[in-house]
Structure 1
Amino acid sequence: MAEQERIGDLLAARGISRRALLKYAGYLASALALPPMASRAMAEALANSPRQSVIWLSFQECTGCTESLTRSFSPTIEDMIFDLISLDYHETLMAASGTPAEEAMAAAMEANKGKYVVVVDGSVSTLDGGVYSTNAGKTNLQTLKDVTANAAAVISVGSCAAFGGIPGANPNPTGAVPVADIVTDKPVVNVSGCPPIPEAIAGTVAYFVTFGKLPELDHLNRPKAFFGDSIHDRCYRRPFYDKGLFAKSFDDEGARNGWCLYEVGCKGPVTYNACATLKWNGGVSFPIQSGHGCLGCSEPNFWDRGSFYKPLSASVMGNRAILGGAAVAGVAAGGASAWLARRKRVAALEAAEAAAKQASEKETQ
């Protein structure tokens, strides 16, 4: 009867007050870019809702997505997410194994038919019928089809599940594909990243529990609340970009002064994620703040797009001459003043950024 227990009753039994729930709902509403009054409605809906049955499937992955969620440092988020859901199957976290584990999943599917949510991390092997990744005597491919048949929705967690990720990178020996290539009759939301931000996972699940539907999605089926802005748009180094001040290496004066990391390979201008705002480890930092350029891990095919330490013009865009030509034009300031040269360069990079985004959207249509 666990599915009949209200979240509010479970929280009260654990000593979590209504005030704490309101605070948590306010945090999630803010993260999801909902209006201020939504937090109270969200808290009420959560308190009166039964725990959401979730079946978590792990395929071709490294367990980093699970680690990301369980190692979150945000106040109570670990406890709260597991109070919001009934995690009925998760190979890594559940105590049972073998036959009892598979029986638990079957029982949850039957008891919550048409209502449970399937979370998947890892890509799906399809070559030779998917024999290169199996569990419980079945291929991941068959398991995915069987388990999602009666699901309400599917959440692809991490870039492997969302876009194929590293298992799907060239030469892709297992025929790895994203979940959405297999599941075409259910709503699928992609919470990409390698790994994804914990709050993006928790916020997406909480939104579904509260409103009974998935949040607004972008052209890659990612929640707009977390993937609506580029990292570049929210980066604290953006003022240096606007001034045309770029680090040339990781140990030069520009790097020590916190200048923009574009020229040492940062993919922030064409990467959409909330790293620069939510950050990691309880809001302590994110890669760019720690001195390393963005790898673009929340975007499709990030592994195959070239070196992580070359500017976008020479790597990520590959055969797209759009960005390359624009960047070169920005650098060629000739005998103009240093200020004018920087302004031209910034204009060129911004044009390249817009062109890259437009090209990415066309690729997915």
Structure 2
Amino acid sequence: MSEIETFYDVMRRQGITRRSFMKYCSLTAAALGLSPAMVPKIAHAMENKPRTPVIWVHGLECTCCSESFIRSAHPLAKDVVLSMISLDYDDTLMAAAGHQAEAALQDTIEKYKGNYILAVEGNPPLNEDGMFCIVGGKPFVEQLRHAAEHAKAIISWGACASYGCVQAAKPNPTRATPVHKVITDKPIIKV
């Protein structure tokens, strides 16, 4: 088994048989409108490609996006976090705090440099050199730029990260800014 689990590893751990796995691959191909000839390629990818690590950081926000996610029923948050994605850092959901959390973030960035997805909830304030949102003793905008530098892609999670939301309402004394206006050199998906 590789250092990072594959989707197949997770399915096997959950007791999914090989036959059920192949049915899943067939259904995936059908749902995507692909030829049945693609089923072996889907199976091969799920057996061999590791799940992509996710780093989830928080700026100016009310945490309602995380709260909504945690309380979702379909799928359950535990299934997403433990089986669907490889959530390696989220200061809202993880047990570590303070220096341990910051070390976990840095370790994850170094270990998966260029191969992780950065999910951003909330936005960075730019006024007063970012001092309106401090994480680990530094402005959040510094954490965002550092994590984004080595990310494969970025997900702007929610209205705050995507558009500014209430934190960016006039007169916007903190200069709360959507993520895509701060990070301009990475693909960004707004959710």
Normalised by the length of structure 1, the TM-score is 0.46
The one-letter code matched in structure 2 to 1:35 is G
1:162 has 2:162 as partner: yes
Cα distance in 2 for residues equivalent to 1:21 and 1:163 = 41
The one-letter code matched in structure 1 to 2:171 is P
Alignment-derived partner of residue 95 in structure 1: 95
8 A contact 2:25–2:42 mirrored in 1: no
Q: Taking structure 1 as reference, are residues 5 and 27 closer, same or farther at Cα in structure 2, changes over 3 Å only?
A: closer
Q: Taking structure 1 as reference, are residues 92 and 76 closer, same or farther at Cα in structure 2, changes over 3 Å only?
A: closer
SS in 1 for 2:108: helix
Cα distance in 1 for residues equivalent to 2:107 and 2:123 = 25
Alignment-derived partner of residue 73 in structure 2: 73
Structure 2 segments unaligned to the other structure (5+ residues): none
Q: Deviations over 1:318-363 (max 9, x none)?
A: xxxxxxxxxxxxxxxxxxxxxxxxxxxxxxxxxxxxxxxxxxxxxx
Cα distance in 2 for residues equivalent to 1:166 and 1:159 = 9
8 A contact 1:59–1:120 mirrored in 2: yes
For 1:101-250, what aligned pairs fall within 5 Å after superposition?
101-191=101-191
Alignment-derived partner of residue 300 in structure 1: none
Cα distance in 2 for residues equivalent to 1:22 and 1:77 = 24
1:35 has 2:25 as partner: no
Cα distance in 1 for residues equivalent to 2:146 and 2:65 = 23
Percent identity between matched residues is 38
How many angstroms does 1:23 deviate by?
4.7
Q: Taking structure 1 as reference, are residues 43 and 151 closer, same or farther at Cα in structure 2, changes over 3 Å only?
A: same
How many angstroms does 1:78 deviate by?
4.4
8 A contact 2:71–2:77 mirrored in 1: no
User: Which structure would you say has the larger Rg?
Assistant: 1
Alignment-derived partner of residue 54 in structure 1: 54
How many angstroms does 1:44 deviate by?
4.8
8 A contact 1:98–1:136 mirrored in 2: yes
How many angstroms does 1:94 deviate by?
0.5
Alignment-derived partner of residue 329 in structure 1: none
Alignment-derived partner of residue 63 in structure 1: 63
Q: Deviations over 1:294-336 (max 9, x none)?
A: xxxxxxxxxxxxxxxxxxxxxxxxxxxxxxxxxxxxxxxxxxx
SS in 1 for 2:167: coil
How many angstroms does 1:103 deviate by?
0.7
Q: Deviations over 1:183-228 (max 9, x none)?
A: 111111111xxxxxxxxxxxxxxxxxxxxxxxxxxxxxxxxxxxxx
How many angstroms does 1:80 deviate by?
4.2
8 A contact 2:81–2:87 mirrored in 1: no
How many angstroms does 1:68 deviate by?
2.5
Q: When you count strand as a share of all residues, which structure comes out higher?
A: 2
8 A contact 1:46–1:84 mirrored in 2: no
Q: Deviations over 1:254-281 (max 9, x none)?
A: xxxxxxxxxxxxxxxxxxxxxxxxxxxx
Cα distance in 1 for residues equivalent to 2:26 and 2:82 = 15
SS in 2 for 1:114: coil
8 A contact 2:130–2:140 mirrored in 1: yes
How many angstroms does 1:24 deviate by?
9.1
Cα distance in 1 for residues equivalent to 2:184 and 2:130 = 18
How many angstroms does 1:71 deviate by?
2.2
Normalised by the length of structure 2, the TM-score is 0.84
Q: Taking structure 1 as reference, are residues 59 and 17 closer, same or farther at Cα in structure 2, changes over 3 Å only?
A: farther
SS in 1 for 2:86: strand
How many angstroms does 1:27 deviate by?
7.4
8 A contact 2:133–2:140 mirrored in 1: yes
The one-letter code matched in structure 1 to 2:178 is P
8 A contact 1:52–1:84 mirrored in 2: no
Q: Deviations over 1:139-167 (max 9, x none)?
A: 11111111111111111110110111111
